[in-house]
Structures are given as C-alpha cells and as structure tokens.
Amino acid sequence: METISLKSIRFNSFDEQAKLVGEVQKDALSYWTTFVIDLLDLNKLLNLIQKNNDDSDVNDLIQTADFVDFTEYEINFDQLPNSSIHKSELDFLVDHQFKKQIRA
C-alpha cells in the first residue's frame, strides 16, 4: 500500500494553493515529492492528520512569518508521532494532479 509521510506544508495569505513536501513509500521503494493542493482542501487534510494524532494539536505546529504585504505559514510535522497518510485517504484531492519528482 502506498503511504505519504508528510514533512511540511507551506502557504501564504495571498495565494490560493499550499505546497506539501513528503516522502512517498510503496513496498521497499520510497521517494521525496512536492505537490500542490488548493487551500480549500487544506482544512480536510489537517483534519485527517489531526484524527491520526489525538494526543497532539496540529494548530500548535503552525509557524508564521509576517512580511509587509503578506504572511507566510509553515507547518512542520517532525514533532508528530504519525504524519503518514495512506494515499487512498486523499481521494478528496482526486481532481488535482500530483506532480512527482524523483531525485537521485
């Protein structure tokens, strides 16, 4: 089964998309990838991560950086005990095309 171990999510106050970074694992193979989701789907994703980590509060992981015209947000999942999601749980993102980047 294919799982995605999320490492971070980045977004800002003027864009309509969020950038996710994670490691995809399938059987013995794994690769790092970056993909983009709409901010409309970000809440669904955060709720899914929160459901897998009852003892932690995902909102406490949000870091902000204020600039003159916008605010940058980053969520690091290094402190969470379980940041892995089965790819089948991301069916609500089916309209989005994942862009896979394989790096040596």
Pick out the chain residues at pLDDT < 50: none
Q: Which token pair is 93?
A: 């993102």
> Which pLDDT belongs to residue 79?
87
Distance CA 100, CA 26 (A): 14
Is residue 82 domain-resident? yes
> Which pLDDT belongs to residue 101?
55
Is residue 80 domain-resident? yes
Domain count, the chain: 1
Residue 45 belongs to what domain range? 2-93
Is residue 98 domain-resident? no
Length of the chain: 104
Is residue 7 domain-resident? yes
Is residue 70 domain-resident? yes
What's the pTM?
0.82
Is residue 99 domain-resident? no
Non-local (6+) Cβ contacts of 94 within 8 A are none
Per-residue pLDDT tens digits for 71-100: 999 999 998 999 999 888 877 765 555 555
Residue in 54, 62, 59, 63 with CA at minimum distance from that of residue 81? 54
Is residue 20 domain-resident? yes
* Contact criterion met (CB below 8 Å) for 19 and 104: no
* Contact criterion met (CB below 8 Å) for 49 and 6: yes
Is residue 102 domain-resident? no
